[in-house]
Amino acid sequence: MTPTIDTLLDEILAREGSKDTNDPNDSGGRTKFGISQRWHPAAWEDGPPTREAAKEIFFSLYVMKPKLHLVTPDYLLGQLVDYAVLSGPHRAIVALQHIVDVSEDGLLGPITLGALAAQEPRTVNNAIVDRRVLLMTRLVQQRPKDLVWLYGWVSRALKFRV
């Protein structure tokens, strides 16, 4: 793990928090360190995941597997990994592809990376922030019970504006 990726995963863990929660309004169900029992049942087989286990899950499933480690600059990498953790890697990559105007297949490859390299990264980054916020508001329209989370989700996304 590079120092940059290690740091951004530590930041995600700090945002997610270490509390073991089981809010009935949370679609992910029981969660610790941002690892939900619903989406990562294997991580919960022996009880709540440890911080180290959560970090490894984030690294393997939300950085390496979707190839987000290939994205630069660091602030855009950080945002895309955070987006992937909250909404899934596919959705994060599709958002990037939409912004850089390439086929939206959810796979990060040379065409997407080339299109990203040809654009001003701050503009791309901020457009992704906007897309995240719109997604969150659309989710709340579809699932009004998630309104309780909207302020936190939007605040989290807006922190990535550069």
My answer on whether 119 and 149 are in the same domain is: yes
Domain end point (choices 24, 48, 65)? 65
Q: How far apart are CA 150 and CA 125, in angstroms?
A: 20
My answer on whether 51 and 103 are in the same domain is: no
My answer on whether 35 and 84 are in the same domain is: no
Structural domains of the chain, count: 2
My answer on whether 80 and 142 are in the same domain is: yes
Q: How far apart are CA 112 and CA 32, in angstroms?
A: 33
Report the percent of the chain where pLDDT is more than 70.
98
My answer on whether 4 and 22 are in the same domain is: yes
Q: Residue 58 belongs to what domain range?
A: 1-65
For CA atoms 109, 114, 115, 119, give the dihedral sign. positive
Q: Can you spell out the DSSP letters for 34-54?
A: TEETTT-GGGGTTSSPPHHHH
- pLDDT tens by residue, 81-130: 999 999 999 999 999 999 999 999 999 999 999 999 999 999 999 999 99
Task: Identify the CA nearest to 162 among candidates 140, 137, 130.
Answer: 130
* The pLDDT value given to residue 3: 66
Q: Give 56-68 as a 3 state SS string.
A: HHHHHHHHHCCCH
My answer on whether 157 and 91 are in the same domain is: yes
Q: How far apart are CA 133 and CA 39, in angstroms?
A: 22
My answer on whether 99 and 160 are in the same domain is: yes
Largest CA distance in the chain: 47
* The pLDDT value given to residue 22: 83
My answer on whether 97 and 157 are in the same domain is: yes
State the average pLDDT for the chain: 94
Domain end point (choices 65, 85, 120)? 65
Average pLDDT estimate for 13-17: 92
Q: How far apart are CA 124 and CA 97, in angstroms?
A: 10
Q: Given a cut of 70, is residue 158 above it in pLDDT?
A: yes
Amino acid at 46: D
My answer on whether 34 and 93 are in the same domain is: no
Domain of 145, CATH number, reads 1.20.141.10
My answer on whether 123 and 154 are in the same domain is: yes
- pLDDT tens by residue, 51-94: 999 999 999 999 999 999 999 999 999 999 999 999 999 999 99
- pLDDT tens by residue, 130-146: 999 999 999 999 999 89
* The pLDDT value given to residue 23: 82
